[in-house]
Structure 1
Amino acid sequence: MKSLYITSVSTFSGKTALSLGIGLRMQAAGLKVGYLKPVSTQPYTAGGRILDEDAEFVRRTLGLDTPPWELSPVVITTELLDEVMSGTLQRDLIAEIEQAWQQVGEDKDITIMEGGASMREGYVVGVNTLNLVEQLDVPVLSVVSFHGEECLAGMCVLDDAMAAKRRLEDRLMGIVLNSVPREDMDYIRTRAVPFLENQGIKVYGVLPFDPYLRALSVGEIIDTLNAKVLTGTHLRERLIEHMSVGAMSVEAALPRFRRQLNKAVFTGGDRTDIQAAALETSTTCLVLTGNLQPTSTILKRAEELGVAVLLVPDSTLEAVERVSGIFGKTSLAQPEKLSRFQAMLSEHLNYAELIRDLGL
């Protein structure tokens, strides 16, 4: 049974998006694809069962008939962690994962396995990336995300790629570099990629940064903040590419508002001046904090412009922190984002070489 384990070295690297994108490409080529997310640290409950949200989304998009609770055999909860720490755990987690892997792979040409948010995730319960790929004897494709603002000349990309190679050794079949700013693409392709390949690290693709793919929908902000919708109930699918905080004077805020397109502005419900300024620029959503109702003039103007106005009880800082926790994660729930990502893979991922190296 062929398998590909897709992991990453840091959170929000685009691992789920890549797993789904490769799976769809394989299906389009006529391959029967299975999917498994062996370990989940983001559980949610549906129908009395604990599921993983990402795994359920991938299952639906790939059209798999496997029950969603079978796609994430090990869900790390507080209770499971307590059992591990107290030495009372009676389950063989590796065996459970192996059994699920065998089941989802029945009659499939390949099973895509989506690893944790980082290579260290799951160490405490013995189901980290290295343990799993050794036990299951599967090749690994690692997503390495660009962090140019933190490192000199793409050094973080090189460090992360070489660290992955050191940890996984021959099990690492290669990497995909993700979220590379367009102004850095030439440097990464002509300098970083040849260097990495000279170190024995195959680079299957260099994906450019696209803020649209990391945008949040208005609906995701509504759900995260449990917000009351004052205008724009029909705008849940509209996308937000930037977040801006209106806690300063209008004079200070306007230049930033003008630079940021398709943004959500977080400000107090009593800051009519900031709200009016935001509405005169490219604003998708106003998040008004402190449960302070805006004026009828603001609501009327927002309706005219097609801007969603949300009301929340949180302080501005609290609301921003809660949304920041999910902002920047590549979510492909909107069809137009999925199509855009697929087009990016077609242009920038060496799919033919990946398939050849997998023996498919």
Structure 2
Amino acid sequence: MQQLYLAATGMNRGKTTVALGLLAALIESGRSTGFIKPVGQRYAVVDGVPADEDAILMRSVFDLPDALGDLSPVHIPRGFTRAFIEGKVGDDLSARIRAAYARVADSRDVLLVEGTGHAGVGAVIGLSNAQVAAMLGTPALIVSEGGVGRPIDEIVLNRALFRQHGVPVAGAIVNKVDLDGHPGLGRLVRSGLAHHGIELLGVLPYRPILSNATLAMLLQQMPGKLLHAGPDPSRPIEHVAIAAMQARHVLERVGPGSLV
């Protein structure tokens, strides 16, 4: 079985977006593909089962047959870290992950494992991304975001912790790159990472639609009455104005792409 551990260099780097794309491509290739997020921080409860939001998303989008508890075996609720440090958590979290991993991986050709944040997240409970990847024997793919120096620095730093735990890094993906304004950035980052023996596997251009909600999205999630949709409800919202003031002051704060 082929497998890959998807990690990031920090929050909001686009790891889950990359996971969605990878999982879609793998499933479309015809291979039996599984997904698991061993440790989650933001979670919701579905049919009485607490699970990481990303695991819930993947199961819903791709109609995964696995039990939700297997897709998200460990989640960290408020107060969990303190309880763990104080010795009040008796569960064998590693065993729970290994058991769920074995069930999800059974009869699969490919398994995508999604981490949580950067390589060190989870170390406080003995389950950092590097530790979990080592436990599962999974090579890592690191996702960073646009720029030149910062993504290279972040990727090299995270690679060091994976290396410390004996986890090979298959390569890196840099997301949110301004290729329109700086078309040579991809080549530059590729060259910079090559100096450290890290392969740049892909560069994803920055697209506002992936970072900003649209009016159509909000209408699906929020109750309320739509007063004016504007010419294009699928246009990304660029600015939000709270109309808790006199009308003339509201108008001063409203411009193209504004949501009131």
TM over 0.5: yes
For residues 81-96 of structure 1, the aligned pairs below 5 Å read 81-96=81-96
TM-score, normalisation: structure 1:
0.65
Task: Report the Cα distance in structure 2 between the residues aligned to 1:7 and 1:283, rounded to whole angstroms.
Answer: 33
Larger Rg: 1
For residues 61-100 of structure 1, the aligned pairs below 5 Å read 61-100=61-100
1:180 to 177, 181, 184: 177
Distance 1:47 1:97, change over 3 A: same
Counterpart position of 1:159 = 153
Distance 1:99 1:192, change over 3 A: same
Task: Report the Cα distance in structure 2 between the residues aligned to 1:218 and 1:52, rounded to whole angstroms.
Answer: 26
* Cα pair 1:37 1:55 within 8 Å, conserved: yes
1:60-109 CA-to-partner distances (Å, cap 9, x unmatched) read: 21221112232110010124323312112211111111111111111111
Counterpart position of 1:231 = 226
Task: Report the Cα distance in structure 2 between the residues aligned to 1:87 and 1:160, rounded to whole angstroms.
Answer: 33
Q: Which runs of 5+ in 1 are unaligned?
A: 149-153, 242-261, 287-360
Task: Report the Cα distance in structure 1 between the residues aligned to 2:60 and 2:214, rounded to whole angstroms.
Answer: 19
Counterpart position of 1:123 = 123
Task: Report the Cα distance in structure 2 between the residues aligned to 1:50 and 1:263, rounded to whole angstroms.
Answer: 33
Please report the RMSD computed on the Cα atoms of aligned residues, expressed in angstroms: 2.6
* Cα pair 1:238 1:284 within 8 Å, conserved: no
1:146-193 CA-to-partner distances (Å, cap 9, x unmatched) read: 2x4xxxxx2111101211222223511100011111246433223221
Counterpart position of 2:259 = 285
1:172-230 CA-to-partner distances (Å, cap 9, x unmatched) read: 11000111112464332232212212321011001111111112144766799xx7634
Higher RCO (CA 8 Å, separation ≥ 6 residues): 2
* Cα pair 1:43 1:50 within 8 Å, conserved: yes
Give SS of 1:121's match.
Answer: coil
Counterpart position of 1:168 = 162
Identity %: 22
Counterpart position of 2:209 = 212
- Corresponding position: 1:270 with 2:225: no
* Cα pair 1:10 1:117 within 8 Å, conserved: yes
- Corresponding position: 1:14 with 2:9: no
Give SS of 2:183's match.
Answer: helix
Range that drifts further, 4-13 or 170-179: 170-179
* Cα pair 2:74 2:93 within 8 Å, conserved: yes
How far did residue 9 of structure 1 move?
0.8
For residues 137-152 of structure 1, the aligned pairs below 5 Å read 137-146=137-146, 148=147
Q: Which runs of 5+ in 2 are unaligned?
A: none
| Structure that is richer in helix per residue | 1
Count residues with an aligned counterpart. 256
Task: Report the Cα distance in structure 2 between the residues aligned to 1:12 and 1:268, rounded to whole angstroms.
Answer: 29
How far did residue 284 of structure 1 move?
5.1
How far did residue 8 of structure 1 move?
0.2
Distance 1:220 1:28, change over 3 A: closer
